Amino acid sequence: MKIKLIDIAHGRSGDKGDAANVGIIAYDDKGFEIIKKNLTVENVKKHFEGICLGDVERFELPNIRALNFLLHNTLGGGGTVSLKHDAQGKTLAAALLRMEIEI
Amino acid sequence: MKEKIRIASGQGFWGDLVDAPYTQVTAGPIDYLVMDYLAEVTMSILQKQKNKNPKLGYARDIPELMERILPVCIEKNIKIITNGGGVNPEACAEAIMEVAKKLSIKKMKIAVVVGDNIKDNIDEIISAGCNLNNMETGESIVKVKDSLLSANVYFGAMPIVESLKLGADIVITGRTTDTGLTLAPMIYEFGWKETDYDLLSAGTIGGHILECGGQASGGNFLGDWQSVPDLVKIGFPIAEAYPNGEMVITKHDSLGGKVSFETIAEQLVYEIGDPKNYITPDCVADFTTVHLEELEPNRVKVFGIKGFEATEFYKVSCSYSSGYTSSGSLTYSWPQALTKAKVADKILRGRLRNLDLKFDEIRSELIGYNACHGPLATELKEDNINEVMLRVSVRGDDFKSVERFGKEIAPLILTGPPSVTGFAGGRPKPSEVVAYWPALIPKKLVKPEVKIFEL
């Protein structure tokens, strides 16, 4: 069965220079197991193909059922240099929650 | 020692809800009002203002705001801490003194934290062996030294603690960390030591929760966002802090918004890197140790926090002039809205090419279609979108090219695809790019100072 990540998790994203930070939080423990398994560095990098031009770093915050990703080279130079409408990556958490997952 | 203190967030950035600080001091009991005005971009904006007028360079909303809240804060003994002093905290304090005189306030003490501005000491710092290398690229500051507009050290909580010890009613700082504003009153009231790493980390994480204002209490909440009550009257977050480092995040009962596990969790993961290694001038906080527990509606306990000793460095935020940008947009309607916008973009680029203009980058976006999510956006099977906004932006060092770009947008209305609108406000004008240069500096090379202004 396929589900959308947005059905089991929420999150928030922002900027750190030219990198975007994307934090994803599962609504329950079962959801956290699913996101831990599916949101690997490789899968996230592939999902953001054409958006994230650099490396992806992944961190776990198990107490709050969250994963944090740093997407390097993503914001068109970042800050005031970026020409992007979403120069601060504010909508990228929602973009990751578009991912479809097989469970 | 007080059994607990209530620290209220009054502002998440410069430009946030104007009435929020007034609401925080009037809608219920608090002990401290903390206001974060400084995003990285804000320092550049303030620097531009100070360049035009040496009496500016701080968050200009502050004097007007003080006129409203000072009488209440004095009556209720609420202390105010803000980094809204920007690149000119002394001018900010002077402006507040004028307001206090106008209000016939008899007794007031403002502490100003200075020493963060190192722009005029760059050569000394380089000769002391610190090249202020860019934290992202590794390049030496020498590369941009001549176009440097500002250079400020991020101070932490300690200069504010010193200010509070001197009896300040109001503390105005320049580039102080957002988290230090909230941590400082906890250190001061509970007598925490510089080696109480777990406690300092707890207060730091409390600061991280408060630093974006309503973003912790139901604003920009991606969870069940439609369940958040009464965002019209959103209550900004309040940290009830205890001497053992535990906190309860809450808001005033009479106000809207929502404080829950989910709203706090979203703010915790906002703009962090490695969660085990959240570096501030005061400590290194470990976000993986945070526990959240909903005690009752709109009361979330934050506890279990651990942390480590601070590093030997301060972070430095430099800004430098780096060319110009300009951005223009036009809206195309059904039928074939998407195709029209794409054709208009091609025509525009053809004209820019024929003019032989020089840009480092040209970017075209289709707002209403895929500007936010790019290749992840749902593709249209046929071009039946109701309308789309074409937004084209350029960046480059050549002012004339960037200026000329602004003259090529409006002509598309009469010389491009049909059913086009949305061009108002005149030609887009070039704006100077103030780029950001993050670096580190050994703590021993700078010294925070506290200056007192008194009535």
Could you give the C-alpha distances from A62 to A8, A24, B138, B207, B253, in angstroms and in order? 16, 11, 33, 21, 31
In contact, B85 and B110? CB cutoff 8 Å: no
Of the candidates A15, A49, A66, which has its C-beta nearest B269's C-beta? Answer: A66
Structure tokens at B127: 């000769």
Q: Three-state DSSP class for A14?
A: strand
Q: Say whether both B356 and B432 belong to one domain.
A: yes
**What are the beta bridge partners of residue B453?**
B110
Instruction: Please report where in the chains the tokens 């929502």 appear, as a residue.
Output: B258
Measure A22 CA to nearest chain B CA, in Å: 8
Question: Minimal Cα–Cα distance from A14 to chain B, Å?
Answer: 5
Is B128 part of a structural domain of the chain?
no
Name the DSSP letter for residue B228. -
Taking the C-alpha atoms of residue B376 and residue B370, their distance in angstroms, rounded to an integer, is 8
Cβ-based burial of B338 (10 A; exposed 0-12, middle 13-18, buried ≥19): buried
Does any domain span residue B134?
no
| B265/A64 CB distance under 8 A | yes
**Residues in B touching A97 (Cβ below 8 Å):** 222
The amino acid at residue B310 is A
Using CB atoms, which residue from A27, A63, A93 is nearest to B288?
A63
Distance CA B212, CA B36 (A): 8
Same domain, B278 and B370: no
Evaluate whether A23 touches A13 at the Cβ level (below 8 Å): yes
User: Parallel, antiparallel, or unpaired for β B32-35 and B5-11?
Assistant: parallel
Residues B300 and B338 in one domain: no
Q: What is the pLDDT of residue B48?
A: 81
**DSSP at B296:** E
Interface probe, candidates A24, A63, A72, A96, chain B, greatest B C-beta count within 10 A: A63
Complex ipTM above 0.90? yes
pLDDT of the residue at B43: 81
Is B273's CB within 8 Å of A78's CB?
no
- DSSP run (H or E) holding B51: helix B40-52
Pair B358, B301 in one domain: no
SS (H, E, C) B143-192: HHHHHEEEEEECECCHHHHHHHHCCCCEEEECCECHHHHHHHHHHHHHCC
Quick one: B239 and B372 in the same domain? Answer: no
Shortest Cα distance, chain B CAs vs residue A68, angstroms = 7
What integer pLDDT is reported at residue B339 of this predicted model? 98
| B138: in domain | no
Q: Count the alpha carbons within 13 Å of B397 in the hemisphere toward its beta carbon.
A: 2
Number of separate domains in chain B: 2
Helix (H, G, I), strand (E, B) or coil at B16: coil
- Count CB neighbours of A86 within 10 A: 20
The partner residue sitting opposite A21, judged by closest CB among B215, B272, B327, is B272
Q: State how far the alpha carbon of B389 is from the alpha carbons of B172, B392, B411, B428, B448, in Å.
A: 42, 10, 16, 16, 48
DSSP, res B235: P
Burial per residue of B215-235, b for 16 or more beta-carbon CB atoms within 10 angstroms, e otherwise? bbbbbbbbbeeeebeeeeebb
Q: Which residues of A touch B322 (CB under 8 A)?
A: 81
pLDDT, tens digit (0-9, with 9 covering 90-100), for A61-92: 999 999 999 999 999 998 889 999 999 999 99
A83 vs B265, B273, B393: nearest CB? B393
Per the CB < 8 Å rule, is B395 touching A80? no
Lookup: tokens for B415: 């010389």
Asked if residue B123 is part of any domain, the answer here is no
| Residues B80 and B188 reside in one and the same domain | yes
Best residue of A18, A46, A64 to probe chain B, by most B CBs closer than 10 Å = A64
Give the whole-angstrom CA distance, residue B210 versus residue B182: 8
Chain B hits for A61, Cβ within 8 Å: 268-269, 275, 287-288, 290
CA–CA separation, B347 and B385 (whole Å)? 21
Clarify whether residues B368 and B402 are in a common domain: yes
Count Cβ atoms below 10 Å from residue A37 Cβ, excluding itself: 11
- A/B interface, count of CB pairs below 8 Å: 134
Place of tokens 């970017």: B363
The low-confidence residues of chain B, meaning pLDDT below 50, are none
Given an 8 Å threshold on Cβ–Cβ distance, is A79 in contact with B365? no
The model's pLDDT over B281-334, given as tens digits with 9 standing for 90+, comes to 999 999 999 999 999 999 999 999 999 999 999 999 998 989 999 999 999 999
CA distance B237 to A11: 19
SS3 state of residue B115? coil
How many Å lie between the alpha carbon of B29 and the closest alpha carbon of chain A?
Answer: 30
B326 with B302, same domain? no
What DSSP letter does each residue of B316-345 carry, written as one string? EEEEEEEEEEEEEEEEEESSSHHHHHHHHH
pLDDT at B434: 85
| Residue B312 φ/ψ, nearest 5 degrees | -90, 10
Domain that residue B364 falls in:
322-436
Of B292, B311, B330, which residue sits at a domain end?
Answer: B311
Q: Which residue has the tokens 């104007």?
A: B18
Chain B closest-CA separation from residue A62 CA (Å): 7
Same-domain check for residues B175 and B272: yes
- Choose one of B288, B311, B334: the last residue of a domain: B311
A50 → closest Cβ in B272, B287, B375: B375
**Local structure of residue B269 (DSSP, 8 states):** T
The verdict on B383 and B283 lying in the same domain is: no
Determine the Cα angle at B407 with ends B404 and B411, to 5°.
Answer: 140
Q: In what order do the strands lie in the sheet containing B109-114?
A: B291-296, B299-303, B247-250, B238-241, B5-11, B32-35, B79-82, B170-173, B109-114, B449-454
Amino acid at B315: K
We report the CATH number of the domain holding residue B398 as: 3.30.70.2750
- Beta strand B238-241 with B5-11: parallel, antiparallel or unpaired? antiparallel
Domain boundary (B279, B311, B343) is at B311
Interface of A with B (CB under 8 A): 10-18, 21, 23-25, 27, 47-51, 57, 59-66, 68, 70, 76, 78-81, 83-86, 91, 93-95, 97-98
| Structural domain contains residue B24 | yes
Task: Flag whether pLDDT at A6 surpasses 80.
Answer: yes
Residue B282 forms part of a structural domain? yes
Residue B127 domain flag: no
Q: How many CA atoms lie within 13 A of B345 on its CB side?
A: 23
B42 falls within a domain = yes
CA separation, residue B14 to residues A26, B39, B82, B267, B443 (Å): 32, 8, 11, 18, 28
- The answer on B350 and B243 residing in a single domain is no
Q: What gap in Å lies between CA A40 and CA A29, rounded to an integer?
A: 18
Q: Which of A12, A72, A74 has the highest number of chain B CBs within 10 A, making it the mutation to test binding with B? A: A12
Q: Does residue B428 sit in the same domain as residue B298?
A: no
Inter-chain CB proximity B391 and A85 less than 8 Å:
yes
B260 φ, ψ to 5°? Answer: -140, 175
Q: How far is CA B412 from CA B225, B332, B417, in A?
A: 40, 11, 8
Token readout for B92 is 């900010």
- Flag if A85 and B372 touch (Cβ within 8 Å): yes
| DSSP SS3 for B446 | coil
